[in-house]
Amino acid sequence: MNWMKVCEQVCELAREVGGFIRSESGKVQALEIETKYKNNFVSYVDKKAEALIVEGLKTIIPDAGFIVEEGTVEETKAEWQWIVDPLDGTTNFLHQLPSYAVSIALRGGDETVLGVVYEINKKECFSAYKGGIARVNEQQIFVSKTSELKGSLISTGMPYYDFEILDEYMCFLKHLVKNSGGIRRYGAAAVDLCYVACGRYDAFFEHSLSPWDVAAGAFIVQMAGGHVSDFQGDQDYIFGRRILATNELIYNEFLGLSRQYLCTSIRKTEL
């Protein structure tokens, strides 16, 4: 498979669908917004964007299966499987706030081989493919060189429907507020991960995410020289709903804090 060519095609598709999403900004009416579950919304824009992506991806690898957020195509198992979030950051989009993005990953077996995240407002297409490099548009990107938590800029997502470890999460945040260079909460995990990949953030972590939120961005972080794991340091971050991503220099320090503040409580909830 020519991954460079496939990546170029996926980037082109993401830009086209991103253009559609951009054209709909500010047009969605309240009655056109559905609530999937607590604080998780969807509109015709998400569904139409996903249908366009699925249609386009079928022409690139006709026999591939899909894992998609909005259910516009039945989930199927195949040698190759696309993982698609047509609009990561729907709440931001509905409120006309940056940032939001199209996120597309391709996996074969247990290996991600391609990731594309198109941040719609800044028109930045982050991409990486197996055997290649991580890029934003045509420029190669790398994770930051920050060597200590002190001075690091960290991104996260506040729990908005799963509050099982909220107290522990807040304790962790309290520690980070006191011992880092600052915390940001943008509301689009795929973009947060890409900002780690290009060095704008030094670290990102979040709980209760879905595969389509993280698959593409996590791969791009790795291809840019960063580390990605779950809160315990294991590799179950795509389907395990817990992810942290950092540059290579602060990973061990950040992981140690994650284990200290979050993992004991998580183990208790899984018993």
Predicted pLDDT at 72:
80
Predicted pLDDT at 213:
96
Binned at pLDDT 50, 70 and 90, residue 268 comes out as: very low
Residue 142 burial by CB count (10 A; 0-12/13-18/19+): exposed, middle or buried?
Answer: middle
Binned at pLDDT 50, 70 and 90, residue 40 comes out as: low
Which residues are bridge partners to 246 per DSSP? Answer: 203, 227
pLDDT above 60 for 216: yes
What fold, for 153-270? D-Maltodextrin-Binding Protein; domain 2 (3.40.190)
Helix/strand/coil for 146: coil
Predicted pLDDT at 76:
77
Binned at pLDDT 50, 70 and 90, residue 77 comes out as: confident
Rg (CA), the chain: 18
Residue whose pair of structure tokens reads 């208790």 in the numeric block: 268
Tokens of 127: 């991409």
153-270 and 3-140 share a CATH fold: no
Sign of CA dihedral 39, 45, 49, 50: positive
| 76-85, 110-119, 162-171: least confident range | 162-171
How far apart are the C-alpha atoms of 81 and 8, rounded to whole Å? 18
How far apart are the C-alpha atoms of 163 and 168, rounded to whole Å? 10
Tokens of 236: 């179950």
What's the predicted TM-score (pTM) here? 0.93
Domain boundaries of the chain, sorted by first residue: 3-140, 153-270
Predicted pLDDT at 243:
97
Mean pLDDT of the chain: 91
| 29-33, 157-161, 198-202, 204-208: least confident range | 29-33
* Secondary structure letter of residue 107 according to DSSP: E
* Architecture (CATH level 2) of domain 3-140: 2-Layer Sandwich (3.30)
